[in-house]
Structure 1
Amino acid sequence: MLLQRRGDDHHDWSLYRGRAPVGVEWYFRERTELPTSVMLYHLEPGAEEGSHLHLTGDPASCSELSEDELYLVVAGEVVMTVDGEQAVLRSGDAVYVPHGVAHGVRNDSGAPAELVLLFGPPGGNPFTTD
C-alpha cells in the first residue's frame, strides 16, 4: 500500500513572487502514474501564491509544460485571480484554470485557508460532452 501522511513531503515555498510563503504538501510527487499531480496548500493570513501561468514555449511560464489546474478550497477563504478577474472562494468552491492563463491565489482573511490543487497536462476528460 502506498501511503503518504500529512507532513511527509511538506515545504514552505515562496511561489511566484507572492507576499508570504505557502505551505505545500505534495502527494506522491515521485511515485504517481496519474497524469495529474496533487498538492495541499496551506495559506496563513497574508500568504499568497503570486500570479503565474503554465504554457510550453512561453518565456513568462513558470513551468516547461502546458498544464491545466484546479483549485478546490477545503477550509477558510481565499481570493483567486484568473486572467485579471477576482473571486472570493470559500470551503467547497473550486476554480478551473486552463493552461496559458495567468492566475494566483491569496489569503486576505484573518484565518488560515487550505486548498487542494490538482494540475497536469490537458488531455481530455472522458466525462466531458460537447
Structure 2
Amino acid sequence: MLERRGDYAFDYNLHGGTAPVTMQWLFHEQSRLPVAVQTWELPPGGTEGMHSHPDSGRALEELYVVIEGTARMTVDSQVHDLAAGDAVLAPAGSEHDLANTGSGPLRVLVVWGEPGTADYTAFGSHRSAKAARAGDATTS
C-alpha cells in the first residue's frame, strides 16, 4: 500500500485553533495499528488550540514530530521551541497546544491513541534505544 502526500488531505478545525489544519490520516481504516497516524500542515501563525484529553474521558496520548518548519509547543505550562526533527510527547490529560512560529507552513507527523504498553524487548533496536537513553542519563 502507498499513500502520497496530499492523496486524501482535508481541512479540519482542531480544538478552537486559529486556522484550519490541512490533515491527512494515513491509511485510515486500513492499518491495524492501535494508533492514528496523521500529517498536519498549519499555516503561518496557525495554532491547534489549547486542549487536553483527560483520563476521565477517552484518554489520549499524542506524539508530535516536526517534519518541516518551526513551532512552539506548550505542554502543561512548559514551552518548547521546535524545528524539523524535534519531537514532543503530550501525555494523556496534559494541557497542550501547537503553534506555527515560522513564515512558511508547519508540517507535523502526529501519532495518537489510548495509552497502553507493548513488549518490544525481543528487538535489537529496543536494546539499542535503551542503551542510548542510559548514556544520555549519565551525561546530563
- TM-score bracket for the superposition, by shorter chain length: 0.7 to 0.9
Q: Compare the two structures and name the one with the higher helix fraction.
A: 2
Question: Where is the strand percentage greater, Structure 1 or Structure 2?
Answer: 1
The CA deviation at 1:99 is 0.6
Q: 1:66 aligned to 56, 59, 74, which one?
A: 59
Which among 64, 77, 82 is matched to residue 89 of structure 1? 82
Relative to the length of structure 2, the TM-score reads 0.79
Computed over aligned residues only, the root mean square deviation of the Cα atoms, in angstroms, reads: 1.7
Offset from partner CA, 1:27-77 (integer Å, 9 cap, x none): 11212210111000111101110011113534xxxxxx2111100001110
Which amino acid is 1:91 matched to? Answer: A
User: How do 1:23-34 residues align onto structure 2 when only pairs under 5 Å count?
Assistant: 23-34=22-33
Structure 1 counterpart of 2:6:
7
The residue that corresponds to 1:75 in the other structure is 68
Query: Taking structure 1 as reference, are residues 125 and 104 closer, same or farther at Cα in structure 2, changes over 3 Å only?
Result: farther
Instruction: Please identify the structure whose Cα radius of gyration is greater.
Output: 2
Give the alignment's TM-score, normalised by structure 1: 0.85
Structure 2: 5+ residue runs without aligned partners?
Answer: 121-125, 131-140
CA distance, structure 1, for counterparts of residue 103 and residue 4 of structure 2: 27
Structure 2 CA distance for aligned equivalents of residues 124 and 99 of structure 1: 14
Deviation at 1:125, TM superposition (A): 4.4
Matched, 1:36 2:35: yes
Which contiguous aligned blocks of 4+ residues in structure 1 show a shift greater than 4 angstroms?
none
